[in-house]
Amino acid sequence: MTADASPAAELIEELVIANKILFRENVVDAFGHISVRHDKDRNKYLMARHLPPGMVTADDIVTFDLDSNALTHQGMAYYSERYIHGEVYKARQDVVSVVHCHARPLIPFGTAKGAKLRPMYHMSGFLAEGVPVFEIREAGGMTDMLIRTPELGKALAACLCDKAVVLMRGHGATMVGNSIRQAVFRAVYSTENASLQMSAHSLAENGEVEFLTAEEGRKADQWGRSTDRAWSLWRHQVTNL
């Protein structure tokens, strides 16, 4: 890789901070990961080597091609599910960042029969376009649930389709965004929405809840300023520990 092709130091720093934020906000624990598309080459992406997100530093950021082969940090361990990232970048030219997590409030929405994650409020308007649930049995039969191959990654990306979030039955969720900040924002607020929605169903007569309509959701998803406002707080929290 030539010097020109190296990712900007600012992008790597943003990715490191994103790792710490996702950990602090309980979106990830020792598991889960976030990647960003390479700023100099759309056919590469950046992601930490096999480490808990809360322990990632700039030195741990590996460059991968879209087949999820490591181009740096040779011989080190990588996340076995890196195919989630590579295959989503192939399928979605609009996507710049991908989060994969096992956030506690989201798991039940991928596992409880008949449950459907829907937008409770303006912070999660991006859910209004629909949240598909990926059933790995359809793509891989009886597995260990992990996206360990390019084929499973492709199947997940196909299920995600043009949406912001895909739930994975018996496993977790994957979110995408047009920037690290948007992907993190969506990860945090789809998790928050899941908490809110569980309470709402248990509170409502007959479980009926008034969600945002498609139009309300679409409009509420258009204010970019809020992503930066949240980021400024989260960044402050993880860099001032």
Interface positions with a second copy (CB under 8 A): 29-31, 50-52, 54-55, 77, 80, 102, 104-105, 107-109, 111-115, 119-123, 125, 142-146, 169-172, 192, 195-196, 198-206, 208-213, 215-216, 219-220, 222-223, 225-226, 229-230, 232-234, 236
In the annotation, is 192 catalytic? no
> With b meaning 16 or more CB within 10 Å and e meaning fewer, what string describes 153-189?
bbbbbebbeebbbbbbbebbbbbbbebbbbbbbbbbb
Sheet of 172-177, strand order: 61-65, 44-48, 33-37, 97-101, 172-177, 165-168, 133-134
Closest CA to 84 of 34, 39, 120: 34
Spatial contact of 66 and 41, defined as CB atoms under 8 Å apart: no
Closer residue to a second copy, CB minimum distance, 3 or 236: 236
Spatial distance between the Cα atoms of 172 and 185, rounded to a whole number of angstroms: 17
Residue of 14, 25, 81, 87 with catalytic role: 81
Spatial distance between the Cα atoms of 179 and 188, rounded to a whole number of angstroms: 14
Spatial distance between the Cα atoms of 114 and 94, rounded to a whole number of angstroms: 30
Task: Just list the catalytic residues.
Answer: 81
